[in-house]
Amino acid sequence: MAIEITGQYTEPCKVSVLCDNEPLNENFGSEWGLSMALELPGNGCWLWDCGASPLFLKNAAKMGIKVNDAKGLALSHGHWDHTGGMDALMKTDFIGPVYAHHDFAIKRYSRRGNGDFSEASFPCEYPGTIIVRDQVELDDGLFMITEIPRREGLSEATEGLFLDPEMTEPDHVKDDAFLLLMTNSGPVVVLGCCHSGLANSLYHLRDLTGLDSVYAVIGGLHLYRTGESELENTAKVIEEFNVREIAAGHCTGSKGLEFLRQRVSCKVLQMGSGSVYKF
């Protein structure tokens, strides 16, 4: 089903990084996890993921962001490093809905460097999730998109992920999702871990909306274990969609970030806990 986009914000939207692998400076804590707050002009705030622990709440307080007043929480997928802070959020007076793909709470595992496995599942108890099967308009000009098709010949970032502890059934992270925010600068794509791969994600966006360019891409690009071929394919799709600005962090990795800085023509920024972007 296509998405009809009827307008965009005329005042700046603000995206604040509440938690990331790296800190903006020594005032902010960091962990292997991701959380953001999207502040819509005159229309409140939405949360995107909630990190691996309550750390995102502490950083949000330092940034003057009242996460308990957020209109809702959307989850990019069910891995622990994007959902582990949910129980702490629910202990505040947050009463907003939680949006997630219907597979977000399934059992899943990842292969460690020593060949053993560790559980990577959603770790919390919250039962009140609103299920998103393909896409939903969370708010005016803010869309959550999931059920991202994996196209033949395009890579997905799912190596070492499984649905069983015996590591025989691959996990393609079907719950992977991203946000589309229609800003004054243009369309902004907000990623979680981009397990679908950036090319699959942007081509799906184009199929749904007709958009063939985006102003900015922000979030985790999952390039930290990626070979040269996929790095090059990521760069090509960034150029194809005329991206003007990239703010990359979390699972992007230093190698991926440096490659993009050298390869693409747009601005490439290091994301970190405490970073703020206005579009």
63: amino acid identity, one letter: M
The answer to whether position 255 is within a domain reads yes
Q: Is residue 9 part of a domain?
A: no
- Amino acid identity, position 29: G
Among candidates 220, 212, 208, 216, which has minimal Cα distance to 189? 216
pLDDT for position 183: 97
Query: Is the model's pLDDT at 1 over the cut of 70?
Result: no
Max Cα–Cα distance, the chain, nearest Å: 52
pLDDT computed for residue 192 by the predictor: 98
For residue 131, is it within any domain? yes
Give the pLDDT score at 28: 98
Structural domain including 53 reads 14-274
How far apart, in whole angstroms, are the C-alpha atoms of residue 230 and residue 38? Answer: 29
pLDDT of residue 154: 93
- Quote the CA–CA distance of 84 and 57 in Å, as a whole number: 12
For the segment 78-98, the average pLDDT, to the nearest whole number, is 95
The residues, any chain, with a CB within 8 Å of residue 203's CB and separated by 6 or more, are: 151, 154, 237
Q: Which residues touch 41 (CB under 8 Å, ≥6 apart)?
A: 9, 10, 11, 12, 13
The whole-chain average pLDDT of the chain stands at: 95
Determine contact, residues 231/203, Cβ cutoff 8 Å: no
If one counts every other C-beta atom within 10 angstroms of the C-beta of residue 275, the result is 23
pLDDT of residue 23: 97
Task: Flag whether 8 is in a domain.
Answer: no
Domains contained in the chain, number: 1
Q: What are the residues whose beta carbons fall under 8 Å from the beta carbon of 108, sequence distance 6 or more?
A: 78, 79, 119, 120, 121, 161, 162, 163, 171
User: pLDDT over 90 for what percent of the chain?
Assistant: 88
Chain position carrying tokens 């991701």: 34
Whether the per-residue pLDDT at 46 is higher than 80: the answer is yes
Asked, for residue 258, whether it belongs to a domain, the answer is yes
- Res. 114: pLDDT tops 90: no
Around Cβ 113, how many Cβ atoms within 10 Å? 6
What pLDDT score was predicted for residue 106?
Answer: 95
Q: How many CA atoms lie within 13 A of 92 on its CB side?
A: 17
pLDDT score, position 58: 98
Task: Using the structure block, give the residue that is written with the tokens 């708010």.
Answer: 139
* Nearest alpha carbon to residue 217 among 237, 191, 250, 194: 191
Judge whether 185 lies within some domain. Answer: yes
The reported pLDDT for the residue numbered 6 is 77
For residues 82 and 49, is the Cβ–Cβ distance under 8 A?
yes
156 DSSP 8-state letter: -
pLDDT band at 115 (very low <50, low <70, confident <90, very high): confident
Of the candidates 66, 180, 78, 75, the one whose C-alpha atom is nearest the C-alpha of residue 120 is 78
For position 193, which CATH number holds? Answer: 3.60.15.10
Residue 5 lies in a domain: no
pLDDT at residue 2, as a whole number: 84
pLDDT at 71: 97
Answer yes or no: is 80 within a domain.
yes
Q: What is the mean pLDDT of residues 66-78?
A: 96
Q: Model confidence at 158, in pLDDT bands (50, 70, 90)?
A: very high
**Residue range 143-158: mean pLDDT, rounded:** 95
Alpha helices in the chain (DSSP H): 55-62, 80-83, 86-90, 198-209, 228-240, 253-263
The pTM (predicted TM-score) of the whole model is: 0.96
3-state helix, strand, coil in the chain (%, to 5): 20, 25, 55
